């Protein structure tokens, strides 16, 4: 693969860098390579954060401008002297756009260790998941509940894990964008793996998205029923009322295998700073219910690719990205969990083919879910209590 090089000389680059404080430049777009088209420019430069545009003309002038976001372009104007700026020559010989990266954007040491050794790591994680056995004889599958705001990536997470075990990207669970939750039913998904396509010892339970308002989105009382194992697959959630005990989807006497063993809050990394106080209140209310049932809680931070350009460019930057590390700290404060409970992932959203690093991150998240499930069973036995036999406690 050929690397696209800058047209700036070393001296010119140093001069440009001296206008900033401790930054480095990353070439995103070069017109002679990527094309002079509007679309090519926006495809490569939108959503990249602060950028600098450098234009070269026939007369030998090098000029340009700095903006914090490409979307900011229309409407912004400043006064300059054309003769001084570009010698009245707008016939460009080249045009480049660089992302301006603060040197502090990248941490010197990863804040969490992960082995990016490609297929061997992926296989090891898949083997761990396939061979997982809950520590209780009466239970063969860990039951993990995904809850979170509308559009956070709950259904996409199931689709992504299913894809990893299928060998290519699939999309059985409805995922996409709508004003309200696209998922309206309670779904309990099995994932098939291995040559005999047997079910993994894991069931991912997908729910309707949470919404701020009362009577909108997933009903909090329904979460209690799901946790206790009362709600069955394909129950149609009703935001204005919780499930009734005479519903055909209501299981009157669930056992330990029907209960939820691990709860996962799914949050969109791009929207952490936008989470409203009302949504935080909802999280707190759910957390109380989850704690009361003695179920461990994990937080899945999705869309890390959209949140951080360094991660979008290369997923293995995730644990050296200063921005993602900051995000994890914010999430842990907002939800009130330790940072080790927050797991970042990138779901498959538009790809056809699998990518090994995406898979490693996704599978690592599942391994955490299984470890937390073990904690749930450990806790049951250590407490010596009879919770499994008395699901209504
Ligand atoms: N780039 C990117 N897009 C994602 C990621 N996860 C989900 N998406 C996209 O986000 C949108 C919403 O994802 P869903 O999986 O439908 O979200 P959900 O939480 O199930 O939403 P509801 O069922 O509506 O509550 C879809 O367009 C996905 O393709 C991710 O990690 N990265
Ligand atoms: Mg969904």
Same domain, 190 and 41: no
The CB of 159 under 6 Å from ligand 1? The reply is no
The CB of 160 under 6 Å from ligand 1? The reply is no
To test the pocket of ligand 1, the residue of 151, 154, 222, 362 to mutate (highest count of ligand atoms within 8 Å of its CB) is 151
Ligand in closest contact with the CA of 175: 1
Residue 271: predicted pLDDT:
87
Same domain, 85 and 130: no
Eight-class DSSP state of 179: S
Same domain, 178 and 317: yes
Is residue 112 included in any domain, yes or no? no
Q: Are 96 and 27 in contact (CB under 8 A)?
A: yes
Distance 176 CA to ligand 2 centre (A): 8
To test the pocket of ligand 1, the residue of 153, 177, 308, 351 to mutate (highest count of ligand atoms within 8 Å of its CB) is 153
Q: Are 217 and 209 in contact (CB under 8 A)?
A: yes
Same domain, 40 and 155: no
pLDDT in tens, the chain (393 residues): 456 789 999 889 989 988 887 787 889 999 999 999 999 999 888 878 889 999 999 999 999 999 876 555 555 567 888 999 999 999 999 999 998 877 667 888 898 988 887 889 999 999 999 999 998 889 999 999 999 999 999 999 999 999 999 999 988 778 777 677 788 899 999 999 988 889 999 999 999 999 887 778 888 899 999 999 999 999 999 888 889 889 999 999 999 999 999 999 999 998 887 788 888 999 999 999 999 999 999 999 999 998 888 899 899 999 999 889 989 999 999 899 999 999 999 999 989 999 999 999 999 999 999 999 999 999 887 765 554 444 444
Residue 30 sits at the vertex; the CA angle it makes with 37 and 66, to the nearest 5 degrees, is 95
pTM over 0.85: no
Which residue(s) pair with 56 in the sheet? 62, 94
Domain that holds residue 53: 10-105
Distance 294 CA to ligand 1 centre (A): 29
Q: Give φ, ψ of 10 to 5 degrees.
A: -55, -40
Is residue 1 included in any domain, yes or no? no
Q: What is the CATH number of the domain that holds 374?
A: 3.40.50.300
To test the pocket of ligand 1, the residue of 152, 155, 156 to mutate (highest count of ligand atoms within 8 Å of its CB) is 156
The CB of 153 under 6 Å from ligand 1? The reply is yes
Same domain, 140 and 68: no
Is residue 302 included in any domain, yes or no? yes
Q: Which atom of ligand 1 lies nearest, measured to the CA of 346?
A: 31
Nearest to 96 by CA among 184, 32, 189: 32
Same domain, 335 and 295: yes
Residue bearing the CA closest to ligand 1, atom 21: 151
SS3 311: helix
Out of 56, 81, 105, pick the residue that ends a domain: 105
Distance 265 CA to ligand 2 centre (A): 13
Same domain, 270 and 352: yes
Same domain, 253 and 331: yes
Same domain, 19 and 130: no
Same domain, 144 and 97: no
Out of 44, 71, 105, pick the residue that ends a domain: 105
Q: What share of the chain is helix, strand, coil (3-state, %, to 5)?
A: 40, 20, 40
Same domain, 222 and 341: yes
Is residue 110 included in any domain, yes or no? no
* Number of domains comprising the chain: 2
Is residue 4 included in any domain, yes or no? no
């Amino acid at each position: 693969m050929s690397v696209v090089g800058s047209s700036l000389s070393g001296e010119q680059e140093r001069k440009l860098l001296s206008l900033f404080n401790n930054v480095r430049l990353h070439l995103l777009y070069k017109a002679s390579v990527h094309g002079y088209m509007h679309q090519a420019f926006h495809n490569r430069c939108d959503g990249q954060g602060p950028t600098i545009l450098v234009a070269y003309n026939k007369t030998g002038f090098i000029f340009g401008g700095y903006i914090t976001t490409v979307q900011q372009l229309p409407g912004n104007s400043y006064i300059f002297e054309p003769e001084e700026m570009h010698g009245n020559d707008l016939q460009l010989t080249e045009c480049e756009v660089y992302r301006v990266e603060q040197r502090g954007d990248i941490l010197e040491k990863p804040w969490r260790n992960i082995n990016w050794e490609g297929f061997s790591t992926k296989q090891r994680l898949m083997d761990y998941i396939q061979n997982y056995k809950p520590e209780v004889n009466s239970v063969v599958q860990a039951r993990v509940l995904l809850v979170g705001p509308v559009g956070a990536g709950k259904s996409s997470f199931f689709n992504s894990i299913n894809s990893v075990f299928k060998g290519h990207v699939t999309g059985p669970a409805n995922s996409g964008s709508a004003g309200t939750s696209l998922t309206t039913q309670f779904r309990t998904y099995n994932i098939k793996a291995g040559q005999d396509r047997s079910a993994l010892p894991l069931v991912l339970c997908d729910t309707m998205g949470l919404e701020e308002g009362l009577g909108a989105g997933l009903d909090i009382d329904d979460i209690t029923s799901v946790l206790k194992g009362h709600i069955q697959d394909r129950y149609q959630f009703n935001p204005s009322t919780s499930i009734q005990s005479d519903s055909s989807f209501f299981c009157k006497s669930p056992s330990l295998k029907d209960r939820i063993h691990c709860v996962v809050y799914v949050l969109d990394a791009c929207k952490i700073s936008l989470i409203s106080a009302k949504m935080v209140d909802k999280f707190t209310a759910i957390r109380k219910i989850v704690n009361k049932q003695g179920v461990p809680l994990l937080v899945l931070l999705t869309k890390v690719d959209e949140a951080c350009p360094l991660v979008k460019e290369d997923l293995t930057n995730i644990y050296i990205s200063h921005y993602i590390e900051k995000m994890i700290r914010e999430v842990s404060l907002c939800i009130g969990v330790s940072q080790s409970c927050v797991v970042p992932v990138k779901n498959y959203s538009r790809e056809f083919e699998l990518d090994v690093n995406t898979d490693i991150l996704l599978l690592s998240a599942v391994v955490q879910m299984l470890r937390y499930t073990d904690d749930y069973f450990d806790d049951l036995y250590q407490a010596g209590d009879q919770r499994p036999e008395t699901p209504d406690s």
